[in-house]
Structure 1
Amino acid sequence: MTYAMFAVFIINLLLGVPLFVCMLLAAAVGFLFIDPGLFMNTLPQRFFGGMDVFSLMAIPLFILAGNLMNNSGMTPRLIRLANTLVGHFRGGLGHVNVVAGVFFAGVNGSAAADASALSTLLVPAMEKEGYSRKFAAGLTAGSSLIGPIIPPSIFMILYSSLTNTSVGDLFLAGVIPGFILAMAFLLMNAVHAHRHNLAPSGKRATLSELLAAVSGAATALVAPVIIVAGIVFGLVSPTESGALLALYVIVAGLAQRNLSLARLWAAFTETARLTACIYAIIASASVLNWLLSYTQVAAQFAELLHPFMHSPTLLLFVISGVIFLCGMFMEEVSVLMLLTPMIAPVALAAGIDPVHLGLIFTLNVTIALITPPMGACLFIVASISKLDIVEMFTGILPFIAVALVVLALLIIFPSLTLWLPSVFH
């Protein structure tokens, strides 16, 4: 049965069938094997039940807030602030790319949205400054990884809904790793700029210019405070935080006359489209998860991990390898939804902190976004940058290597992830 389900899934995936349909077709084959009568009763219940989770309501609200940010003119202001802070260094626009990624990370938590915004605004400018298009596109795709690590993070919300882990702790756990990843990319850019003798993108900003840039971006900079502080201090739930953030961006955008009704409508329609895609995958994965659990496939998979339970660090490396390989060929939400219920019980039984595991999961599926052959951010950046996809694949490899080194550091030194949440307990 398992082989038949896997074959149906892979064949349909290769044929270009939407991922949630691939999962439903694989589940349908499984139901036919065990009990055709369950098909009509259980599949609809599990499909809609998978979406009927209160904590998942935060996802469309954070997506909406990010789309509103992009449609209200806040994105160029964040890039201007980044340019004011680091543009005067050698290879300044590359540094601006990474720092802007950090700023965007505190707004929407979506790597795809960050990749789209950064590619549109910075890749052509970096090319004019002497960067090769391949390196500029690779750095942009790498910078987009920071988005789901620094809070808010859609992946962390999904993991929280599956494991009942505190969203506030997960958000705090992502802060230090996100900055470590940013510093690693800044170092890569500095080395590249030195080797190719790239000039700064501008002069050092004066105090008045810095204050003006901070003032212009102040509206966007308040967003992370609303998200993190409200959740960490127990003032609001993640869902309420997302609603407050979306309302704040709407009010600020209308007050500053940067958010027209047409842009507001565009943000709502894009949010509806993305939310429908994510929820369809969540619902389909819920059906498949129930079936794998019912047929003991999940337990058999967990048994494969038991030889590594004597060492939490080794187990995390093995888990990371499994997630990374799956993420290379599957959509990241589906990887998270399918693997978390199977892996989390084993990892927790081995003594791995659920917050640490959540961060490792999140970083793994995020790296998959820039990993060939199916990484979504690769295709977004290549398309916007008008770069051949093969060149994009070769250009991204150094950034994947650096991200994997950061992942290894976080596995070996759990305190990098767990120290900040412990401060607030």
Structure 2
Amino acid sequence: MATFAGLVLLLGFLAFGLPVALSLALAGAFGLLMVGGFDTAAGILASTPLASNQNYEFVAIPMFILMANLITVSGISDDLFKAAKIWTGRTPGGLAHATALTGAAFGAISGSSTAAAATLSSTSIPGMIKQGYDPRLAAGVVAISGTLAMLIPPSVAMVLYAIIANLSVGQLLIAGIVPGILVTLTIILTVFFLVWRNPEHAPGAQGYRMWEKIAALKTSWAFLVLFMCVTGVIYLGIGTPTEASALGALAALALALLRRTSWSRIRRAMVVTAEASCMIALIIVGAEIFGYFLTLTQTTQSLISYLSEAGIPSWVVLMAVLLLYLVLGCVMDLIAMLILTVPIIAPMMMQLGYDPVWFAVITIVMAEVGMVTPPLGMNVFVISKYTGMPVGQVFRGSYPHVVAHLLLVLVLVLFPQLVTWLPATMQ
């Protein structure tokens, strides 16, 4: 009864538009008061704010966000798009393919999906529309390509998931590489299909000679530096994910200074980073309070016991959970979704025998779909804001990619080795 009351209260607060952090904290405090009494609630509320953010690995989150913002203001992403555009050349839908490749490269050196979507909106959509691309095709490929930053390391979502579920941050980050490549290929193949069906939606682009393609690669050295500073350091065991995040942020700052980025833009990147980091920290505090309430009510243990006694096949539970994430992704942002569900669902899936790292990656891929699915696809609203395109038009352009992503999820479910193989080879 107490669990039901706490959950109803939480959903009520969220429905009335109360911030996620405050909703979690108030619902959790009310639940603690019901279950444990005043002294228990007061003790937890007094100790949680400091204890919940003392995790050493939490430092990686603001570092990855800072890295993404510095990359954005320094213009490195513009060079990545130009290089990808030259290499795709006259390929049908070439600029759209370049956008997908740029999204993958940007994801590999940032970690913020909204930053990726905003950057790709300004670099690729104007060029595609000027070339005569259908606006829906252009907006759809940018929306889905921006989500790659959630999957390919460094990823703020992966770090947050690892902290909540008590998993290895390094293993989880590396586990996103192969699925990230598969998602990129899925986007490219989807574009190929759309262009094959309607060739007039993506007119042919300018062709380039081989020497021009090779010359374009010279502008991509910054990407290689940042990739090795973060993903290379983690995979080779040279440093921890937290150390790699600090090294990546430092390298991004050095590159911004080398490119003569103005101090006002660098300062703005730092302010945006501080705002985003504080928001995430407050959400973690609220989640910890609500988590203590769920622990006292033994919600997770009761759910696991029920599933065991009911004899429901594990694959049925998995499908139900994936459907739940798809629905939640339509109405809730990624951080709130992870905070609310992972403490309950992750232990349950482990108890059913699923690999926790594999399930984490599946969860993030489903969250990618939610970022471009109505009515609350955050990347869609970011693109609409930066380009002035109607939200509905962007959603319609994203629909084919949603279908393709769901097919990819099925492949990852049938072949979990695609996720678990690379982390098993880490130093």
- TM above 0.5: yes
Q: What one-letter code is carried by the residue in structure 1 that aligns with 2:90?
A: H
RMSD of equivalent CA atoms: 2.1
Aligned residue number for residue 5 of structure 2: 4
State whether residues 170 and 240 of structure 2, in contact with CA within 8 Å, keep that contact through their aligned partners in structure 1: no
Aligned residue number for residue 223 of structure 1: 226
Q: Indicate how the Cα distance of structure 1 residues 424 and 128 shifts in structure 2: closer, same or farther if over 3 A, else same.
A: same
Please give the alpha-carbon distance, in whole angstroms, between the structure 2 residues aligned to 1:190 and 1:362: 25
Which has the larger displacement, 298-307 or 3-12?
298-307
Q: Indicate how the Cα distance of structure 1 residues 65 and 120 shifts in structure 2: closer, same or farther if over 3 A, else same.
A: same
Q: What one-letter code is carried by the residue in structure 2 that aligns with 1:218?
A: W
Aligned residue number for residue 240 of structure 2: 237
Q: Indicate how the Cα distance of structure 1 residues 73 and 308 shifts in structure 2: closer, same or farther if over 3 A, else same.
A: farther
State whether residues 92 and 202 of structure 1, in contact with CA within 8 Å, keep that contact through their aligned partners in structure 2: no
State whether residues 144 and 368 of structure 2, in contact with CA within 8 Å, keep that contact through their aligned partners in structure 1: no
State whether residues 140 and 398 of structure 2, in contact with CA within 8 Å, keep that contact through their aligned partners in structure 1: yes
1:227 Cα deviation from its structure 2 partner = 1.0
1:161 Cα deviation from its structure 2 partner = 1.8
Aligned residue number for residue 199 of structure 1: 203
Q: What one-letter code is carried by the residue in structure 2 that aligns with 1:17?
A: L
Q: CA offsets, 1:367-398, max 9 Å, x none?
A: 22222222211211122232222333333222
Aligned residue number for residue 47 of structure 1: 49
Q: 1:364 aligns with which of 351, 363, 366?
A: 366
Aligned residue number for residue 378 of structure 1: 380
Please give the alpha-carbon distance, in whole angstroms, between the structure 2 residues aligned to 1:87 and 1:14: 48
Q: CA offsets, 1:6-54, max 9 Å, x none?
A: 3332333232221111212212321332213333221232233222211
State whether residues 309 and 315 of structure 1, in contact with CA within 8 Å, keep that contact through their aligned partners in structure 2: no
Aligned residue number for residue 25 of structure 1: 26
State whether residues 316 and 411 of structure 1, in contact with CA within 8 Å, keep that contact through their aligned partners in structure 2: no
Q: CA offsets, 1:97-131, max 9 Å, x none?
A: 11111111111121111111111222222222222
Q: 2:106 aligns with which of 104, 107, 117?
A: 104
Please give the alpha-carbon distance, in whole angstroms, between the structure 1 residues aligned to 2:195 and 2:377: 27
Q: Indicate how the Cα distance of structure 1 residues 332 and 104 shifts in structure 2: closer, same or farther if over 3 A, else same.
A: same
Structure 1: stretches of 5+ with no match in the other structure: none
1:201 Cα deviation from its structure 2 partner = 2.1
Aligned residue number for residue 114 of structure 1: 116
Which has the larger displacement, 103-112 or 133-142?
133-142
**1:293-332, aligned counterparts within 5 Å?**
293-306=295-308, 313-332=315-334
Please give the alpha-carbon distance, in whole angstroms, between the structure 2 residues aligned to 1:70 and 1:333: 22
State whether residues 302 and 343 of structure 1, in contact with CA within 8 Å, keep that contact through their aligned partners in structure 2: no
State whether residues 62 and 242 of structure 1, in contact with CA within 8 Å, keep that contact through their aligned partners in structure 2: yes
1:313 Cα deviation from its structure 2 partner = 4.4
Q: Indicate how the Cα distance of structure 1 residues 66 and 28 shifts in structure 2: closer, same or farther if over 3 A, else same.
A: same
Q: What one-letter code is carried by the residue in structure 2 that aligns with 1:33?
A: M
State whether residues 87 and 95 of structure 1, in contact with CA within 8 Å, keep that contact through their aligned partners in structure 2: no
Please give the alpha-carbon distance, in whole angstroms, between the structure 2 residues aligned to 1:367 and 1:286: 27
Q: Does residue 57 of structure 1 match 2:59?
A: yes
Which has the larger displacement, 307-316 or 404-413?
307-316
Q: 1:72 aligns with which of 74, 81, 89?
A: 74
1:312 Cα deviation from its structure 2 partner = 5.0
Aligned residue number for residue 213 of structure 1: 216
State whether residues 4 and 29 of structure 1, in contact with CA within 8 Å, keep that contact through their aligned partners in structure 2: no
Please give the alpha-carbon distance, in whole angstroms, between the structure 1 residues aligned to 2:188 and 2:362: 22
- Secondary structure of 2:106's counterpart equals helix
- Secondary structure of 2:331's counterpart equals coil
Structure 2: stretches of 5+ with no match in the other structure: none
Q: CA offsets, 1:216-256, max 9 Å, x none?
A: 12112321121112112221111110111111121222123
Please give the alpha-carbon distance, in whole angstroms, between the structure 2 residues aligned to 1:67 and 1:308: 49
Q: What one-letter code is carried by the residue in structure 2 that aligns with 1:177?
A: P
State whether residues 159 and 358 of structure 1, in contact with CA within 8 Å, keep that contact through their aligned partners in structure 2: yes
State whether residues 282 and 333 of structure 1, in contact with CA within 8 Å, keep that contact through their aligned partners in structure 2: no
Q: CA offsets, 1:53-83, max 9 Å, x none?
A: 1111101001111111111121110111111
Aligned residue number for residue 280 of structure 1: 282
Please give the alpha-carbon distance, in whole angstroms, between the structure 1 residues aligned to 2:107 and 2:408: 18
Please give the alpha-carbon distance, in whole angstroms, between the structure 1 residues aligned to 2:206 and 2:149: 26
Q: Indicate how the Cα distance of structure 1 residues 28 and 254 shifts in structure 2: closer, same or farther if over 3 A, else same.
A: same
Q: Indicate how the Cα distance of structure 1 residues 193 and 118 shifts in structure 2: closer, same or farther if over 3 A, else same.
A: same
1:365 Cα deviation from its structure 2 partner = 2.3
Q: Indicate how the Cα distance of structure 1 residues 308 and 192 shifts in structure 2: closer, same or farther if over 3 A, else same.
A: farther
Please give the alpha-carbon distance, in whole angstroms, between the structure 2 residues aligned to 1:405 and 1:218: 34
State whether residues 145 and 187 of structure 2, in contact with CA within 8 Å, keep that contact through their aligned partners in structure 1: yes
State whether residues 168 and 228 of structure 1, in contact with CA within 8 Å, keep that contact through their aligned partners in structure 2: no
State whether residues 133 and 203 of structure 2, in contact with CA within 8 Å, keep that contact through their aligned partners in structure 1: no
Q: Indicate how the Cα distance of structure 1 residues 159 and 4 shifts in structure 2: closer, same or farther if over 3 A, else same.
A: same
Aligned residue number for residue 163 of structure 2: 161
1:310 Cα deviation from its structure 2 partner = 7.4
Q: 2:257 aligns with which of 235, 254, 257?
A: 254
Aligned residue number for residue 91 of structure 2: 89
Q: What one-letter code is carried by the residue in structure 1 that aligns with 2:218?
A: S
Please give the alpha-carbon distance, in whole angstroms, between the structure 1 residues aligned to 2:346 and 2:100: 32
Q: Indicate how the Cα distance of structure 1 residues 268 and 340 shifts in structure 2: closer, same or farther if over 3 A, else same.
A: same
